Amino acid sequence: MSKQTYRVCFCFQRRFRLAVSEAPEDIKKLFEQYSENGIMTIDGLQRFLVEVQKEDKATREDAQKIIDSVKHFHRKGVNLEAFFKYLFGDINPPLASLGVHHDMSAPLSHYFIYTGHNSYLTGNQLSSECSDVPIINALKRGVRVIELDIWPNSTKDDVDVLHGGTLTTPVELIKCLRSIKEYAFVASEYPVVITLEDHLTPKLQAKVAEMVTQTFGEILFSPGPECFKEFPCPESLKRRIIISTKPPKEYLEAKEVKDKEDDSQRGKASDEEAWGNEVPDLKGSHVANYKNDFDEEDEEDTDDGEKSQHSLAPEYKHLIGILAGKPKGGFDSWLRVDPDKVTRLSMSEQKFEKAVVTHGKQIVRFTRQNVLRVYPKSTRFDSSNYNPLIGWMHGVQMVAFNMQGHGRSLWLMHGMFKANGGCGYVKKPDFLLNSMEVFDPKIKLPVKTTLKVTVYMGEGWYYDFHHTHFDAYSPPDFYTRVGIAGVPADSVMKKTKILEDNWLPSWNEVFEFPLTVPELALLRIEVHEYDMSEKDDFGGQTCLPISELRSGIRAVPLYSRKGEKYNSVKLLMHFEFI
């Protein structure tokens, strides 16, 4: 090797060497404030926990556990290095470890519920495989509502799960049901709801009834008549499976009637005219079938059961624990509250966005007692999602998401359901349940509290990413985006300065976020690596429910685009409510 080559290699290695992580100046000053002669004693650490970390009930025993955990023993306490290790360690997370702490004795309609859409798809909405694997993954994450589209198989003698009218490959219903039973309560003991989009004949509906009862047995929730007057509570439904669908009907007969009605209304409009400019590049019949399938979903709960009452499958009908339905007419009919009957209403993302403009208060009233499900619009072929806050701020319980993808909307969904011990049920704020005054998210309210966020520093990319992942010839240039997702008045994003060539960026920047509705707010955190010539590289993200955010200096672990926690990447941040 020539001397010149040796120098280049040596320089290259030096550029990628990791410096020693050093405590920020604020941390050093706090250590000095609560220590004596370079040592923070048990009493000093306890005072720090109470005064800075706002852990009012912290004891000397709590302080001793921290000292023991950092494995940096000293006869009287910890030095600065050990104190910094505690602050940046896994024992100092940003969310309170409260477990399930919401009141779980209210009706199901009083909760936001972790809800999946087309839960069986492994990828896009048009050509991916159908499988029980994404269902298993969703249940492991804590998702509580699984959607299955059920169709006759190719020989019409059994039932498949697939996205009808597309090129998706089917999976047997029985395989999905068995996987649901096995994994339903791995992440949470609270009930799992299976929403069925039913495209079956009465004979196959009876077969589904047999499959469901044999698979789930005693854990299947069998509703009584009182269930349709008020929903039961999650506490009473622990480790139970609930079926939700519309009353059974002869699907093919009803669809034939519906298609004739649709044809007479549409005339001979082409598929392109019906779809606007968003028609996928599919061959003719597939486009028609795909659109018909989504029309059927969009009109999922039309009240056409009257046409075929003679052909109901009674065994199937008695399985329904949450009755779905949609009266004839428009928003006024759909959102009418019946004091003697509760129901589940489904609405597409597009229709819901129209409804909130003209019927926002009616939606809030409806969702006090009834369950509303909103699902992604039909043109989201790539399994992307929409802003879930629009649903939550109107009381929507089932904001249905494609869980197999990634993106900022899904990060918000993951963040919301970190609350309440990750059990998949989050109690709605009282103002969405208040019968005296209807909450209007469009009105700007007074500021309730202000969240002050200090972004100190980050670490871990050197260990979790290849050393040339961000830049081929130098360490990365990181910056952090931090902000709020919530009602329109609270939503904002800000960013730190870019720090060049540093695996251990130390920003030491402060941001303040006034919050008018902190109950619905999520703290958004993203790290990116600046790239002058191309799109900035992704360096991690997390979303945290403000309602459970711990005050004080905390270690904030970051996650990948798909929501998987990195082994080492984390930020050191300070949260204060002022």
- Of 102, 117, 394, 574, catalytic: 117
- Of 102, 110, 163, 359, catalytic: 163
Q: CATH top-level class for 449-577?
A: mainly beta
Instruction: Give the contacts of 298 (CB within 8 A, at least 6 positions apart).
Output: 348, 351, 378
pLDDT-derived band of residue 312, with 50, 70 and 90 as boundaries?
low
- Give kind and range of the element (H or E) at residue 508: strand 506-515
Render 284-351 in DSSP notation, one character per residue: HHHHHHHHHHHHHHHTTTBS-GGGGGGG--HHHHTTEEEEB-B-SSSHHHHT---TT---EEEEEHHH
- Predicted pLDDT at 379: 86
Residue 310 among the catalytic residues: no
- Predicted pLDDT at 28: 94
Q: CATH top-level class for 14-87?
A: mainly alpha
Residue 9 has pLDDT above 80, yes or no: no
- 339 against 311, higher pLDDT: 339
Mean pLDDT of 448-462: 96
For β-strands 77-78 and 398-401, DSSP reports them as: unpaired
Domain chopping of the chain, boundaries: 14-87, 108-432, 449-577
Q: What is the pLDDT of residues 14-73, one digit of tens each?
A: 455 666 678 999 999 999 999 998 999 999 999 999 999 999 999 999 999 998 888 665
Angle at 520 between CA 515 and CA 526, to 5 degrees: 80
Residue 359 among the catalytic residues: no
Note the pTM of the prediction, 2 decimals: 0.85
Mean pLDDT of 78-106: 93
Superfamily of domain 108-432, CATH level 4: Phosphatidylinositol (PI) phosphodiesterase (3.20.20.190)
Residue 261 has pLDDT above 60, yes or no: no
Q: Do domains 14-87 and 449-577 have the same CATH topology?
A: no
Residue 134 has pLDDT above 70, yes or no: yes
- Predicted pLDDT at 378: 84
> Cα(234)–Cα(107) distance, rounded to whole angstroms?
7
- Predicted pLDDT at 385: 85
